[in-house]
């Protein structure tokens, strides 16, 4: 089929994606969605019904949503997992990504609603898509505090109330409070498709702490009473793409870091300088520790050592442009040779002529680069 064009140019597919995203239902609700709890100040803005001031680029988020939806729908049809089911208590309302029932709980449902393979314990799962840029952090540290809080809120609602009693899942709401055994995070690399799973035993006390966090937000008289949980635009991506960025970080001229608004007097400058020097000292000490450890590991073979995997890059023959060979190639190809050897110009000449750039070994080796990743 042909593609409709505008002024002879095919329209951007992102226009369609943004239109679909804009039609997703969004409400001014007095209950937070668990995904809104990434930052206390942001949660307070939403809770107080503040109109968003910013409309950041959503392409990465939309991609994540499409991947997310496709994976969850596949899990629903192939495994029989409960996907995107509604939960609500007196604090939050939202849709939990996955609930995998255990055998005892599944037996209380009609056979057509039971999972293909029940879990050993009832599991609440959250699926997160991440970029390669963040992947090493995911492998090393797992879910962030905000991500943990989000799933603890969902699990806590299921533990205390159960599924929300709404059309399409009334058979689930009749189960009542659920005996949650495990929380699972499933991280998907948006670039490579790599998958990483992190599992945590469900602890009602942790869920209660997450609920207390929401209660603290609800008690605020205005959003500015809640502290900012992150360091701001340019330092935290969540702030870069926050719909309340201009409201949360106001009063700075274009091109001036928003964080300058935090300096109100000389006492603030004094503390910022103290913080800077503390950071400098920590970085210097960290660099000293790393350099010492790097020297010790110089002759160590690749392998897994405890929680870390050691590998090496580099150690190859070092090469550089061979000027004499380039002169010969110029003469053979009938290209004028610069009277004064000009490597950059000669390289350009050969590239323009479609000829390979000759290289020669210098007798040196490229430096070995250590690479340490989670085992």
Quote the CA–CA distance of 313 and 332 in Å, as a whole number. 38
Pick the CATH number of 20-240 from 3.30.870, 3.40.50, 3.90.320, 1.10.8: 3.90.320
Contact 106, 118 (CB under 8 A): yes
Quote the CA–CA distance of 333 and 204 in Å, as a whole number. 77
Contact 116, 80 (CB under 8 A): yes
191 φ, ψ (degrees, to nearest 5)? -90, -40
Number of other residues whose CB lies within 10 A of the CB of residue 295:
8
Query: Distances in Å between the alpha carbon of 207 and those of 101, 148, 150, 151, 159?
Result: 19, 9, 9, 9, 9
pLDDT of residue 174: 93
| Mean pLDDT, rounded, for 281-288 | 95
Give the confidence band of 24 by pLDDT, cuts at 50, 70, 90. Answer: low
* Strand-pair category, 317-321 with 303-305: unpaired
Is pLDDT above 50 for 355? yes
Tokens of 23: 């039609």
Which residues are registered as beta bridge partners of 200? 183
Number of other residues whose CB lies within 10 A of the CB of residue 225:
13
Quote the CA–CA distance of 354 and 368 in Å, as a whole number. 33
Give the confidence band of 28 by pLDDT, cuts at 50, 70, 90. Answer: very low
pLDDT, tens digit, 9 for 90 and up, residues 221-251: 899 989 999 999 999 988 998 999 999 998 8
Query: Distances in Å between the alpha carbon of 43 and those of 99, 101, 188?
Result: 25, 31, 26
Quote the CA–CA distance of 290 and 288 in Å, as a whole number. 5
Tokens of 26: 């969004």
Q: How many residues does the chain have?
A: 375
> Which is more confidently placed, 57 or 120?
120
Is pLDDT above 50 for 45? yes
Owner of token pair 């300088």: 273
Give the confidence band of 375 by pLDDT, cuts at 50, 70, 90. Answer: low
20 three-state secondary structure: helix
Query: Distances in Å between the alpha carbon of 248 and those of 54, 178, 257?
Result: 11, 38, 13
Quote the CA–CA distance of 208 and 152 in Å, as a whole number. 8
pLDDT of residue 368: 64
167 three-state secondary structure: coil
Give the confidence band of 29 by pLDDT, cuts at 50, 70, 90. Answer: very low
Q: What is the CA radius of gyration of the chain?
A: 28
Give the confidence band of 108 by pLDDT, cuts at 50, 70, 90. Answer: very high
Give me the residue spans of the domains in the chain.
20-240, 263-296, 317-374
Quote the CA–CA distance of 273 and 299 in Å, as a whole number. 41
Helix axes 204-218, 145-160, angle to 10 degrees: 100
Is pLDDT above 90 for 120? yes
pLDDT, tens digit, 9 for 90 and up, residues 58-83: 788 788 888 888 888 998 989 999 99
Is pLDDT above 80 for 9? no
Give the confidence band of 1 by pLDDT, cuts at 50, 70, 90. Answer: very low
> Which is more confidently placed, 277 or 8?
277
Contact 157, 90 (CB under 8 A): no
Tokens of 75: 């899990």
pLDDT, tens digit, 9 for 90 and up, residues 330-347: 888 888 887 666 788 888
Instruction: Note the pTM of the prediction, 2 decimals.
Output: 0.73
Give the confidence band of 181 by pLDDT, cuts at 50, 70, 90. Answer: very high
Quote the CA–CA distance of 293 and 163 in Å, as a whole number. 52
203 three-state secondary structure: coil
Report the alpha-carbon angle 287-288-289, nearest 5. 90
> Which is more confidently placed, 159 or 253?
159
Owner of token pair 């005892």: 104
């Amino acid at each position: 089929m042909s593609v409709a064009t505008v002024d002879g140019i095919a329209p951007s597919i992102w226009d369609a994606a943004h239109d679909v995203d804009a039609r997703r239902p969004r409400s001014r609700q007095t209950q937070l969605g668990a995904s809104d709890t990434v930052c206390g100040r942001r949660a307070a803005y939403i809770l107080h019904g503040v109109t968003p001031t910013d409309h950041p680029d959503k392409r990465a988020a939309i991609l994540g949503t499409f991947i997310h939806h496709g994976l969850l729908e596949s899990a629903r049809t192939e495994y029989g997992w409960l996907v995107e089911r509604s939960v609500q208590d007196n604090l939050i309302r939202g849709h939990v990504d996955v609930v995998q029932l255990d055998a005892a709980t599944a037996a209380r449902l009609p056979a057509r609603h039971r999972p293909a393979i029940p879990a050993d314990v009832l599991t609440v799962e959250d699926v997160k898509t991440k970029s390669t840029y963040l992947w090493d952090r995911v492998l090393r540290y797992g879910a962030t505090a905000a991500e943990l809080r989000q799933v603890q809120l969902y699990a806590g609602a299921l533990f205390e109330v159960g599924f929300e009693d709404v059309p399409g899942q009334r058979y689930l709401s009749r189960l009542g409070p659920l005996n949650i055994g495990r929380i699972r995070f499933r991280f998907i690399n948006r670039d490579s498709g790599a998958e990483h799973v992190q599992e945590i035993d469900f602890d009602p006390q942790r869920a209660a702490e997450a609920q207390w966090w929401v209660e603290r937000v609800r008690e605020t008289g205005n959003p500015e009473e809640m502290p900012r949980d992150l360091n701001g635009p340019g330092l935290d991506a969540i702030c870069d793409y926050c719909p309340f960025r201009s409201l949360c970080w106001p009063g700075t001229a274009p091109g001036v870091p928003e964080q300058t608004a935090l300096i109100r007097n000389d006492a603030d400058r004094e503390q910022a300088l103290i913080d800077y020097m503390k950071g400098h000292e920590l970085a210097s000490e960290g660099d000293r520790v790393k350099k010492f450890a790097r020297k010790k590991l110089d002759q160590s073979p690749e392998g897994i050592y405890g929680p870390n995997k050691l590998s090496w890059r580099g150690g190859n023959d070092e090469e550089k442009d061979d000027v004499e060979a380039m002169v010969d190639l110029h003469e053979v190809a009938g290209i004028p040779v610069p009277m004064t050897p000009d490597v950059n110009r000669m390289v350009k000449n050969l590239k323009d002529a479609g000829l390979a750039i000759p290289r020669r070994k210098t007798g040196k080796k490229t430096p070995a680069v250590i690479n340490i990743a989670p085992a």
